[in-house]
Amino acid sequence: MQSISPRVRALAVSQTLAMSQKSAELKAQGADVINLSVGEPDFNTPRHIKDAAIKAIEDNFSFYSPVPGYMSLRKAISDKLSRENRLSFAPEQIVVGNGAKHALCNVIMATVAPGDEVIIPTPAWVSYMEMVKLAEGTVVEIPTGLESDFKLSAEQLENAITPRTRAILLCSPSNPTGSVYSREELQAIVDVLARHEQVLVIADEIYEHIIYTGGDFVSLGSFAEIADRTVIINGVSKAYAMTGWRIGYCAAPVEIAKAVSKLQGQYTSGASSIAQKAAEAAYTGPQDCVEEMRKAFQRRRDLVVRLAREIPGLKVNEPQGAFYLLPEVSAFIGLSTPAGKKIENSGDLAMYLLEEALVATVDGNAFAAPGYIRLSYATSDENLTEAFRRISDALGKLK
């Protein structure tokens, strides 16, 4: 038996990826599973982006890329941040990594010291808490629920900040809740943060384009009070249907960008040269594909909210962004399956739905949201309609 380091032993397995893997295995065995577990666009990468990657191969972009990314890509990102988000980041402040996940982990590893507190409003994406643990920081969760549309209030934030607070991690539009903070709600949070200069603000804006508010997306980096200590995390996975290409970035104060680059130089080197050229085409090329996909997600959002609300006992908000639904399922906890097994928690319920309804979801516990399950609706209308029919049947059998 090999001994594994305490650092990695303490880490939880990524439940989004684990559930997706489990559903793929069941499918391979012939089971007709509908996978609503992992969150990734079901669209193919747009043609002009694929063409740019093919050209990059032909043009021999086959050598190591600079650690923080090609200058041409960092310029394209700098222009994008200025054009779309009215943010001013020089290319030197941008470090491209292997996906937004890697970019975020880089920033946490570069800024969080052992014992530093990192505030995470929950429900929150699975990897946030684990990344902070990896850096030996202390996670300070601020729980929110359906009643506040899962949004953190200024008062909750003020109460959570201590002299040890090093950073806050905010995600809007949110995975897993779909909530989107309005400009006014962000301003209230910024007013609190403005009083606590030691707090680094990490804004995960990977879902910025998948938004149904009818208004413009507001970046946390656009508030002058905190702009010089805000780090933006973003990437091409969600907006351009490029999850497998693995390109994301951080835009940060220059000392943090340098530290991230140093870390990345020892840890992974520059991201894939071909994928970087594809990402450059995504940022500089036509943007209609982004709007087309957004529209499809909005139609599906309407569909799943309607279907979920038809099921007695499921409680849902109306998500304003991303492509997740987080139903509250406490009405089913304590009931028994037809086989006589008691549903003790939301994890049991997710497992029951997988086995009985052949629908893969994720237990809310993975997102620090016990009593909820998460569904990704980034799949076809037919799949969604059939999945909800099965979920309704299976829940109806609980006694």
Query: Does the footprint of ligand GLU cover residue 38 (CB under 6 A)?
Result: yes
Q: How far is CA 332 from CA 310, 342, 358, 370, in A?
A: 15, 10, 18, 13
Query: Does the footprint of ligand PMP cover residue 19 (CB under 6 A)?
Result: no
Q: Which of residues 253-312 bind ligand PMP (CB under 6 A)?
A: none
Q: How far is CA 62 from CA 54, 246, 281, in A?
A: 12, 16, 17
Q: What token pair was written down for 173?
A: 């539009």
The torsion defined by the Cα of 282, 286, 289 and 295, in degrees rounded to 10, comes to 120
Instruction: Please state, in angstroms and rounded to a whole number, the distance separating the CA atoms of residues 39 and 41.
Output: 7
Largest CA distance in the chain: 63
Kindly tell me which residue out of 125, 150, 332, 352 binds ligand PMP, with binding defined by CB under 6 A: 125
Query: Does the footprint of ligand GLU cover residue 16 (CB under 6 A)?
Result: yes
Kindly tell me which residue out of 34, 36, 39, 152 binds ligand GLU, with binding defined by CB under 6 A: 39
Smallest distance, ligand PMP to C-beta of residue 183, A: 21
Smallest distance, ligand PMP to C-beta of residue 338, A: 35
The residue whose Cβ lies closest to ligand GLU is: 39
Query: Does the footprint of ligand GLU cover residue 14 (CB under 6 A)?
Result: yes
Kindly tell me which residue out of 52, 95, 126, 220 binds ligand GLU, with binding defined by CB under 6 A: 126
DSSP E strands in the chain: the ranges are 34-35, 94-97, 117-122, 138-143, 165-171, 200-204, 230-235, 248-251, 324-325, 359-360, 362-363, 373-376
Query: Does the footprint of ligand GLU cover residue 261 (CB under 6 A)?
Result: no
Q: Which of 230, 226, 272 is nearest to 248 (CA)?
A: 272
Query: Does the footprint of ligand GLU cover residue 219 (CB under 6 A)?
Result: no
β-sheet bridge partners, residue 360: 35
Query: Does the footprint of ligand GLU cover residue 174 (CB under 6 A)?
Result: no
Q: Is 204 helix (H, G, I), strand (E, B) or coil?
A: strand
- Name the segment binding ligand PMP (CB under 6 A); options: 95-103, 105-113, 136-144, 183-191: 95-103
Whether a cis peptide bond, with omega within 30° of 0, leads into 123 is: yes
Kindly tell me which residue out of 21, 153, 187, 243 binds ligand PMP, with binding defined by CB under 6 A: 243
Query: Does the footprint of ligand PMP cover residue 21 (CB under 6 A)?
Result: no
**Residue 236 DSSP class:** S
Smallest distance, ligand PMP to C-beta of residue 47, A: 21
- Name the segment binding ligand PMP (CB under 6 A); options: 22-30, 63-71, 96-104, 136-144: 96-104
235 contact choice in ligand PMP, ligand GLU, none (CB below 5 to 8 Å, kind-dependent)? ligand PMP
Smallest distance, ligand GLU to C-beta of residue 145, A: 20
Residue 218 neighbours by CB under 8 Å, 6+ apart = 181, 182, 183, 186
Smallest distance, ligand GLU to C-beta of residue 367, A: 9
